[in-house]
Amino acid sequence: MAALRSFAPAIVAALILIAPFTGWLPDYWVTLFNYIGISSLVAIGLVLLTGVGGMTSFGQSAFVGFGAYTTGVLTVHFGVSPWLTLPAALLVTMAIAAAVGAVTVRLSGHYLPLATIAWGIAFFYLFGNISWLGAHDGLPGIPALRLGGHQLIDPKEYFVVVWVAVVLAVIATQNLLNGRVGRAVRALRRSTRAAEAFGVNTAAAKLLVFVYAAMLAGLAGWLYAHFQRSVSPGPFGVVAGTEYLLMAVLGGAGRVYGAILGAAGITVLRDQLQNLLPWLFGHTGNFESIAYGAVLVLVLQTASNGLWPILFGPPPPPKPPTPRDGDALPAKTLPAPGARLLQVQDARKTFGGLIAVNDVNFEVESSRIIGLIGPNGAGKSTTFNLITGVLPLTSGAVAFDGHPLQAQTPQRAAALGLGRTFQHVEIVPDMSVIENVALGSYLLGRAGVFRAILKLDRAEEALLFATARRQLQRVGLAEVAMQPAGTLALGQLRLVEVARALCLNPVLLLLDEPAAGLRVGEKKALAKLLREVRAEGVSVLLVEHDMDFVMSLADRLVVLDFGTKIAEGVPAEIRKNPAVLEAYLGGVA
Amino acid sequence: MSAPLLDVRDLSVAYGRAEVVHNVSIQVTQGALVTVIGANGAGKTTLLNALMGLLGARGAITFRGRPIANVPLEARVQQGLCLVPERRELFADMPVEDNLLLGGIRRSRAERNQTLEQVFSQFPRLKERRRQLAGTLSGGERQMLAMGRALMARPTLLMLDEPSLGLAPRIVRDIFQILTELRASGVSILLVEQNARAALQVADYAYVMELGAITTQGSPAEIAQDSRLVESYLGLGGNDY
Amino acid sequence: MDTTIFLFLLQDGVINGAVYALVAIALVLVFAVTRVIFVPQGEFVAFAALTVAALENGRAPSTPWLLLALGILAAIAEVVWHFRDLTVKRIVRVALLDLALPVALLWLTLALAPMKLGQLVNILLAIALITPMGPMIYRIAFEPLAHSSVLVLLMAAFGVHFSLIGLGLVFFGPEGSGTTPLSSASFSLGDLVVTGQSVAVLIVTAALLVLFALFFGRTLLGKALRACSSNRIGARLVGIPTSAAGQFSFAIAALLGAVSGILVGPLMTVFYDSGFLIGLKAFVAAIIGGLVSYPLTVIAALGVGFAEALFSFWASNFKEVLVFTLIIPVLAWRSIYAPYHEESE
């Protein structure tokens, strides 16, 4: 059964490729399937870009246009062989996508899709106004692909070309997503902050996805040009761009196979509407456009997650590889116990007129657990963010292991060995628990995009997953490793975050309310784990509201109120400190 | 005894799969000041947001004898239920006076103008600053404006979420003074507070909330003596981890 | 370029910019209240111009039929989405606003059209026919998605745009038409010939902008709409019904769109799909204004109009390319200096 499962995609792929030659499929449908395949490529790119990476693009059709026009110009004007224009088409789209993406992917929120609309329209008019691209009339007379002396003109033969490309794109995309960089990309949409905290350069990851998606669109454009045998600006406008987006959404944004389903659904729907509606209403009109818009709105209103999840449920998580014996990741040498590790000196943070952190001083020594406590709004989380580089200091200094952290970024903090958890859990809900944890060891791996696509990253992946598995065992969640993280309870997710932070091989663990939502037994296990970690030489800075928990665990406590440090000392002293009692229970009387 | 003004039975609230308020039952009688105290993260804010209708919830909520669990938020305001939220949620780019007038948008013009005078007499500070933008007010003034805006709707039951949060002790004293005056003027109050001592001093009845559930209830005097209160705040319960 | 050409381009740019300004502030308003980036705003412009054109020719426009179709859809949407809390009040309201009103307007149009009662009647009738479409579209497409992200709403807006373009072709046909100028007077200012239509455009736009400012600055209703954009939770807590606010903002948007259409009708030949480009250029202005600031949006709209005039003089083929590229540096700048916080899902 397991064997069948792993061969199933190959069997399906083979069945697809021989389908047109069985004689069951009329030519009309073969042609339609060619268009479906070409659109699928664009939609697969969009699934990666929008569904996985969280960047909505209305402009993918422009990249299809670049692919199509590149081969059109090279073959028509310069007589270059179509096979040689394939790399040229990919390179042109890559270069343009890199340039456009460098500006676009840095945009936040809804500015990003708006920008894609703007340059989508600009490119559309550009195609229509350049004379050597044939302006609005386009370029006719593009040669067909040739195999030896044979021209691939028959839709059945072209079907094989298109669907081989689709199958390869699916495999490459799946491999990419299951690799180390792919995990970082999958974290972009829902937990950018977590990805950054474990060393992912999110801007670069976004650009990577953007270029990858554009190149798939460029490939689609190349296929389109040689199937259609002519190009004109019409199919590369923003309306087409929206259509590709609709395919990705309809299929189920985030699902690679869903892209094919969506492309098929939309292409067939449009085709049938074009045939059916004039027959129904008697005269030609833009009926398909009406129905089309209505379908889009209805899909968003009733099935905003798309059709694939409704039809096929959640995907099985990829099986992580197991390591060969003897291989191990390099271990980190930890500083001697008691050495000064983190120094916070006169740290100050103001937001407008509000002083959130007011000249706070404290130190963390290695192999110690330090608790940072205070009532709601005391400035604990802000202090945390100053140390981890999420927020810049207004004044003062933070030094870690002798390095001043003036220009601290989350990525730099991760590289120095600061592993953290988040007050509001930052995990990727549709990724398995163990993959979430493996994101923590992002900086310990090297494999990039190409190794992932070609599956040359397996040995390294095995090591990363072995580390992840070990840390999951330590927090007691080994048995849920393969579940989607979104199905876990809040308390368990906090432990997943602890395991992920441990995967970084941290020198200092920064835990933001790790015990919130845990049951007593779980809290005891967590306390035991933290003592173990301390014994290994790792320090812990703990923000916690459960006083029993923090008091019984911490070597020393730092108490903040209104952004100011009001007390510091061992737990027994802090309990009796009148200023602390006042801060917590209120002193109105 | 007559039926309570607000009667909440077995209310549970969940964010996605995580339930953060479990089977909470509380009552507020007409004219009383009832407080729900508890440490950070106990689920107090979630409880209030569910009562107001900002969050969906399971369970029964009866207000002035009518079930309101399925009534939309704006209709709850119309019926006299108002919330002063923890984050104040003022209209920062609008003047104080406009913030107040919008608070009375569900009332008639005459009622609105009359209530505005009352609010100004209750909060003279707001009258002084009536032309100033809400975003430029100090923390204490913002809290007063948030309360004033809620009072503009002429609530039967005023719910306040951590009115003392982030305020200096002197201003907290002023705010609680105003709460006592309000109760004296006939407004029923449901007060959610972390600042337990302050809340217990003004309340008629108190609930202690821990980990999403009501664990203790009684008169403020009983609660203040209860060692569980200090435990739930400073962890003297001897739970050793 | 000499001064005469410059002044001519300036006049051209300012007039186009004034129309973009009206469309753009409608976009800003709708976004502020409902978070919908209302791509089809331009369709109101085109449909209004085509309505007036038909009335000028003594033909009954198809607009009331379109309105009736939207009304029926809105009524169906209301019944489907609110099936469980249908009250008599609700049913009466639906029957009156979605069914009786379009039928009454249809009857009125059929009765008035052959009489050729003149420009003022034509304009008023066009406004009356277009304005109710706004809230109907809101209730059909956007209200059920009110809690979705900006992106989902944006995609839905594209869906509505596709449908409206298709409906536009069905109801108005593929022919373009222009309308009679509001004023046929013209006078010279040095070398420059100023047409009465240009003056009319500027006066109407300025008057509407002043009314708009008064409405939002002085009336409680206007302030309530501003409150929705200032603080959504705060607005809900004081009891402002979000659905009514959304419908109202769409009504104003449709009204502004109709007026814009009446203004551009004499300036160009309007086709059923001409609105898209007008809407998109207004969009550039709205985005430069950050989708929040009305004064900045008006200035940006005048800038877009002027840039378009300049570009069409220098490189008329690449006019659109340049206008839409203009937005990218602005977006990049906004993104760096005024970061917008991601919405939580």
Query: What are A491-540's pLDDT values in tens digits?
Result: 788 899 999 999 998 999 999 888 877 777 888 889 999 999 999 889 99
B82 — contact with chain C (CB < 8 Å)?
yes
- Please count the other Cβ atoms lying within 10 Å of the Cβ belonging to residue A467: 24
| Least confident segment among A148-157, C222-231, C242-251 | A148-157
Closest residue of chain A to B164, computed from CA coordinates = A586
Taking contacts as CB-CB distances below 8 angstroms, the residues of chain C near A108 are 335, 339-342
The chain A residue lying nearest C144, using CA atoms, is A301
DSSP A555: S
Q: Where are the alpha helices (DSSP H) in A333-457?
A: 380-388, 410-416, 433-438, 449-453
Residue in B with minimal Cα distance to C242: B74
The H or E element spanning position A302 is helix A287-302
The minimum CA-CA distance between C151 and chain B, rounded to whole Å, is 21
Alpha-carbon distances, residue A509 vs A410, A464, A473, A524, C187 (angstroms): 14, 19, 18, 18, 78
Q: Is A524 touching B (CB cutoff 8 A)? A: yes
**What are the backbone angles phi and psi of residue C255, rounded to the nearest 5°?**
-60, -50
Chain A within 8 Å of C340 (Cβ-Cβ)? yes
Chains that touch A (3 or more CB pairs under 8 A): B, C
Domains and CATH numbers, chain A: 29-237 (no CATH), 340-585 (3.40.50.300)
Answer yes or no: is pLDDT of C198 > 50.
yes
Question: What pLDDT was estimated at residue A584?
Answer: 72
**Residue B149 with chain C: CB contacts under 8 Å:** 238
Three-class secondary structure of residue A409 per DSSP: coil
Please give the pLDDT value at position C341: 42
Query: How high does pLDDT run on average in chain A?
Result: 85
Quick check: B235 and A584 CB within 8 A?
no
Percent of chain A with pLDDT over 70: 91
Do B236 and A584 make contact, defined as CB atoms within 8 angstroms?
no
Q: What are the chain B neighbours of C227 within 8 Å (beta carbons)?
A: 91, 94, 102
Q: Between A and B, how many residue pairs show a Cβ–Cβ distance under 8 A?
A: 77
Residue of C nearest to B49 (CA): C237
Residue B22: how many other CB atoms lie within 10 Å: 15
Alpha helices in C173-293 (DSSP H): 196-218, 220-230, 232-237, 242-264, 275-288
A535–C contact, CB cutoff 8 A: no
Pairing of strands A146-147, B205-210: unpaired
- Using CA atoms, how far apart are residues C343 and C345, in angstroms rounded to an integer? 6
Across residues C160-168, what is the average pLDDT?
91
A407 touches chain B (CB under 8 A): no
Identify the closest residue of chain A to C341 by CA–CA distance: A109
DSSP category for residue C270? B
Task: Provide, as residue numbers in chain C, all residues whose Cβ is less than 8 Å from the Cβ of B89.
Answer: 231, 233-234, 237
Of the partner residues B85, B101, B106, the one whose CB lies closest to the CB of residue C239? B106
Give the start-to-end residue ranges of the domains of chain C.
Answer: 26-273
pLDDT for residue B232 is more than 70: no
Instruction: Output the six-digit token pair for A584.
Output: 């917590």
Which ranges constitute the DSSP H helices of A192-286?
192-197, 202-228, 238-252, 256-281
Taking an 8 Å cut-off on Cβ atoms, the answer to whether A588 and B233 are in contact is no
**What H or E segment, with its residue span, contains residue B117?**
helix B109-122
What residues of chain C lie within 8 A of the CB of A114, using their CB? 37, 283, 287, 327, 331
B98 near C CB under 8 A: yes
Q: What does the alpha-carbon distance between residue A472 and residue A495 come to, in Å, rounded to a whole number?
A: 8
- What pLDDT, on the 0 to 100 scale, is given for residue C339? 47
pLDDT tens digits for range A309-334: 666 666 666 677 776 665 666 666 77
Question: What would the pLDDT profile of A15-42 be if each residue is shown by its tens digit?
Answer: 777 777 877 778 888 899 999 999 999 9
Strand partners for B21: B13
Long-range CB pairs of C72-75, under 8 A, 24+ apart, other chains included: C72/C98, C72/C99, C73/C136, C73/C140, C74/C98, C74/C135, C74/C136, C74/C139, C74/C140, C75/C99
Mean pLDDT in residue range C68-77: 93
Q: Do C240 and B74 touch (CB under 8 A)?
A: yes
Q: What is the largest CA-CA distance in chain A?
A: 97
Which chain B positions have a beta carbon within 8 Å of A581's beta carbon? 234
Shortest CB distance from C233 goes to which of B70, B89, B106? B89
Q: In the structure, how many helices (H) and strands (E) does chain B have?
A: 10, 10
Type and span of the H or E element at A379: none
Across the interface, of B87, B105, B152, the residue whose CB is closest to C240 is B105
Q: What is the pLDDT of residue A1?
A: 47
DSSP at C324: H
A285–C169: do the CB atoms touch at under 8 Å?
yes
Give the chains touching B; criterion: ≥3 Cβ pairs < 8 Å.
A, C
Top-confidence range, A204-208, A285-289, A452-456: A204-208
- pLDDT tier for residue C340 given thresholds of 50, 70 and 90: very low
Condensed to tens digits (0 to 9), the pLDDT of residues C277-330 reads 899 899 889 888 877 788 889 999 999 999 999 888 888 788 888 888 888 788
Give C210's contacts (C-beta < 8 A, 6+ positions apart): none
What pLDDT score was predicted for residue B179? 92
Residue A332 in 3-state DSSP? Answer: coil
| Chain C residues 183-212 with CB within 8 Å of chain A | none
Chain C positions in Cβ-Cβ contact with residue B147 (cut-off 8 Å): none
Please tell me which residue of chain C has the smallest CA distance to B100. Answer: C238
- Mean pLDDT is lowest, of A118-122, A161-165, B168-172, for B168-172
User: Which of A2-6, B16-20, C79-83, C130-134 has the weakest average pLDDT?
Assistant: A2-6
Select from C223, C237, C239 the Cβ nearest to the Cβ of B98.
C223
- The shortest C-alpha distance from A512 to chain B (Å) reads 13
Q: Nearest by CB to C334, which of A111, A292, A295?
A: A111
Question: B77 and C230 in contact by Cβ < 8 A?
Answer: no
Give pLDDT tens digits for B62-90: 999 999 988 889 899 999 999 999 888 99
Is the Cβ of A301 closer than 8 Å to some Cβ of chain C?
yes
How far apart CA B231 and CA A7 sit, in angstroms, is 60
On whether the CB atoms of residues A559 and A565 are closer than 8 A, the answer is yes
Please, which residues have CB within 8 angstroms of residue C93's CB and are 6 or more apart in sequence? none
Residue that the structure tokens 């948008």 belong to: B105
B158, C116, C120, C128, C258 from C123: Cα distances, Å: 50, 12, 5, 9, 9
Smallest CA–CA distance, residue C153 to chain B, in Å, is 21
C335 touches chain A (CB under 8 A): yes
The pLDDT of A137-164, averaged and rounded, is 87
Q: Residue B156 — pLDDT band, cuts 50, 70, 90? A: very high
Taking CA–CA distances from C327, the nearest residue in chain A reads A118
List all residues of chain C from 279 to 298 with a beta carbon under 8 Å from chain A. Answer: 280, 283-284, 287
pTM: 0.85
Q: What is the dihedral of CA A421, A424, A430, A431, to 10 degrees?
A: 0
Secondary structure class of A139 (helix, strand, coil): strand
C321 touches chain A (CB under 8 A): yes
- Answer yes or no: do B94 and C223 touch at CB < 8 A: yes
Q: Which pLDDT value is given to residue C345?
A: 29
What pLDDT is stored for residue A513 in this prediction? 86
8 A C-beta contact, residue A211 and residue A94? yes
What's the token pair of residue A435? 């993959």
B to C CB pairs, distance under 8 Å: 66
- Say if A300 is an interface residue toward chain C (CB within 8 Å): yes
